[in-house]
């Protein structure tokens, strides 16, 4: 346990070392997650657009009197 | 296109047109000048009236204030020409676009930077800059302001296709104008300390020569990118 | 297209091919980045001895120095991709240039903050107007300017070309800023900071540093691939291959 405490204390510089590492991982995590979230949004928008298009195409034949 | 006018007369016509337009909106010319005076006036109130402190910061304050005042007017450089479509005509005109843009930049510099240079001694005097330094300050301004106009013109051309956004322009111009501010302020500071000030002025002049040659070309290329849909 | 470009490279430039290629490589690049990062950090934080001058505070360099190198490396990649995008009008080059900018800005930001966290105990100040630090700050503004200009345009491709032009102007600007700040420091006799000291870095510290450098390179590759894939989906929204991906993902 003592070794771990010594490691975490960083020779008295813990207040500088660990925030630096925390920031490093936080920024890179945000950078990794951002494209994934955007990808989900882009695909959802695309699907919504496709759904609207196909709905419009189905409605068109209905307006003509020949269709059932 | 019969009887194509010579290049020199086209340049003169462009310059005359832009200066006439600027003269018709005299109020807009006065704005940056007023802004610079107000900002300079605020410094003694913020820092206290001690002569030594004001003297020490005077050169830098005048330069940065002039830069900010120019930034204020930069946005409008091509704005009216984009609105009425005359810039797109210029792109299609037989005259070289870079040269015509160079004339527009010159006109813009005459209309915005020159008044600022004229009142710069007044601003310097408000901050008690020693009289012997004022010629160096003016020389630095004469070299640095066209540099900023030229660099700014490239960036304004790049944003020509967007909705106007002054903050973006400031963000883009800041990294580019750091060297100009450093050398201009460095020349003034050196003169104030009685050191030789020719080297930074020479660097400024070299940068200006380079910018005069390259910036109109870059401006034309940027405009072609920003306007082509 | 010039004939000297090999056919496979030409094919790779087409969005659907690149999408598949990047999708296949992205997990491997990320895995390598995590593995190398774990090894490098273990070596740096645990195995490497404390520095005799800087004690344990120097351990920040294992993230600070690789991030600083990455910020410049990514700017160089962005500059080259911008040049290719403007000269040959290759869509993929535009995507690579524009999607590199946020990653570069992230690394530049990390460099600046970890640098001041390192500087505070070492030099007793969070910030000093040294040429290296100022250049890094200017680099951050350049990245932000590129990102801002790109998003200011309604048309994505037009925005990418304008921002690519700005990136090329910036590449010329960085050495000029470095030079001018150096000159400015001699004038003002400011605090010149000797970042690495005179001591040569020992092997115990060097190998974790180099491993971390490799890890950040692979991380960049992974992040770039995942960003470029997303961007291609957004750009090519109307095309069949994207439509198929959208439908496949919905059915899953």
**C91 near A CB under 8 A:** no
Closest CA to C174 of C134, C133, C132, C135: C135
Helix or strand or coil: residue B25? coil
Mean residue pLDDT across chain C: 85
Residue C9 vs residue C108, higher pLDDT: C108
Domain encompassing residue A46: 2-59
Complex confidence, ipTM: 0.86
pTM: 0.88
CA distance B180 to B204: 7
C225 and C50 Cβ atoms separated by less than 8 Å: no
Q: Give the model's confidence band at C95: pLDDT under 50 very low, under 70 low, under 90 confident, else very high.
A: very high
Has residue A66 been placed in a domain?
no
Cα angle value C221/C223/C228 (rounded, 5°): 90
How crowded is the C-beta side of B88, counted as CA atoms within 13 Å?
A: 9
Has residue A64 been placed in a domain?
no
CB within 8 A of C97, min separation 6: which ones?
C78, C81, C82, C85, C160, C163, C164, C167
CA distance C21 to C99: 17
Residue in A closest to C109 by C-alpha: A27
Per-residue confidence (pLDDT) for residue C190, from 0 to 100: 47
Q: Where are the domains of chain B?
A: 7-227
Has residue A23 been placed in a domain?
yes
Residue in C closest to A34 by C-alpha: C227
Interface of C with B in 90-149 (CB under 8 A): 134, 138, 141-142, 144-145, 148-149
Per-residue pLDDT of chain B (229 residues; tens, 9 = 90+): 445 668 888 888 888 988 888 888 888 888 899 999 999 999 888 988 888 888 888 889 999 999 999 988 888 888 888 888 888 888 888 888 899 899 999 999 999 999 999 999 999 988 888 888 899 999 999 999 999 999 999 999 988 878 766 788 888 988 888 889 989 998 998 888 888 888 889 999 999 999 999 999 999 999 888 887 5
Segment C67-84, tens digit of pLDDT: 999 999 999 999 999 999
Structure tokens at A53: 């298009």
Tokens 């800023």 -> residue: C177
CA distance B128 to B45: 14
> How far away is chain A from the Cα of C9, in angstroms, using its nearest Cα?
25
φ, ψ of residue B40 in degrees (nearest 5): -60, -40
Terminal C-alpha separation, chain B: 26
Segment B100-141, tens digit of pLDDT: 899 999 999 999 999 999 999 999 988 888 888 899 999 999
> How far away is chain C from the Cα of B171, in angstroms, using its nearest Cα?
6
């Amino acid at each position: 346990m003592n070794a771990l405490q010594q490691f975490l204390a960083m020779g008295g510089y813990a207040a500088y070392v660990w925030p630096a590492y925390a920031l490093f991982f936080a920024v890179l995590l945000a950078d990794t997650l951002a494209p994934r979230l955007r990808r989900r949004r882009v695909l959802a928008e695309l699907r919504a657009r496709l759904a609207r298009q196909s709905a419009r195409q189905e409605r068109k034949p209905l307006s003509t009197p020949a269709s059932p | 296109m019969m009887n194509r006018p010579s290049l020199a007369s086209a340049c003169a016509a462009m310059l005359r047109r832009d200066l006439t337009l600027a003269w018709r909106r005299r109020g807009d010319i006065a704005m940056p000048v007023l802004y610079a005076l107000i900002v300079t006036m605020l410094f003694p109130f913020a820092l206290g009236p001690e002569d030594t402190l004001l003297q020490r910061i005077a050169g830098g304050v005048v330069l940065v204030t002039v830069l900010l005042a120019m930034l204020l007017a930069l946005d409008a450089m091509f704005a009216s020409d984009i609105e009425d479509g005359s810039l797109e005509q210029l792109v299609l005109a037989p005259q070289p676009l870079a040269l015509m843009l160079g004339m527009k930049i010159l006109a813009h510099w005459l209309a915005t930077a020159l008044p600022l240079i004229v009142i710069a001694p007044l601003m310097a005097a408000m901050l008690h800059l020693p009289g012997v330094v004022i010629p160096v300050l003016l020389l630095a301004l004469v070299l640095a302001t066209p540099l900023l106009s030229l660099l700014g013109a490239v960036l304004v051309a790049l944003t020509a296709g967007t909705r106007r956004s002054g903050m973006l322009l400031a963000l883009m111009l800041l990294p580019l104008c750091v060297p100009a501010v450093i050398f201009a302020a460095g020349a003034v500071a050196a003169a104030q300390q009685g050191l030789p000030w020719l080297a930074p002025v020479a660097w400024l002049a070299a940068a200006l020569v380079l910018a005069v040659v390259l910036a109109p070309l870059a401006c034309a290329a940027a405009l072609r990118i920003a306007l082509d849909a | 297209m010039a004939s000297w470009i090999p056919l496979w490279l030409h094919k790779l430039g087409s969005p659907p091919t690149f999408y598949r290629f990047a999708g296949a490589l992205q997990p491997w690049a990320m895995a390598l980045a995590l593995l190398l990062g774990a090894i490098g950090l273990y070596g740096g934080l645990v195995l490497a001895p404390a520095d005799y001058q800087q004690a344990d505070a120097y351990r920040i360099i294992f993230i600070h120095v690789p991030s600083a190198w990455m910020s410049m490396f990514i700017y160089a990649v962005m500059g080259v991709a911008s040049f290719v995008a403007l000269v040959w009008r290759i869509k993929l080059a535009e995507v690579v240039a524009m999607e590199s900018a946020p990653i570069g800005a992230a690394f530049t930001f990390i460099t600046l903050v970890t640098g001041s966290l390192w500087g505070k105990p070492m030099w007793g100040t969070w910030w000093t107007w040294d040429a290296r630090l100022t250049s890094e700050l200017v680099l951050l503004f350049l990245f932000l300017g590129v990102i801002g200009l790109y998003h200011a345009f309604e048309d994505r491709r037009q925005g990418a070309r304008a921002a690519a032009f700005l990136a090329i102007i910036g590449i010329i600007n960085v050495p000029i800023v470095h030079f001018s700040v150096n000159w400015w420091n001699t004038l003002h006799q400011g605090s010149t900071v000797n970042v690495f000291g005179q001591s040569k870095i020992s092997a115990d510290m060097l190998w974790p540093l180099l491993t971390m450098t490799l890890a950040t390179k692979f991380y960049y590759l992974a992040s770039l691939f995942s960003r470029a894939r997303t961007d291609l989906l957004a750009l090519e929204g109307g095309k069949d291959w994207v439509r198929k991906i959208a439908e496949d993902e919905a059915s899953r």
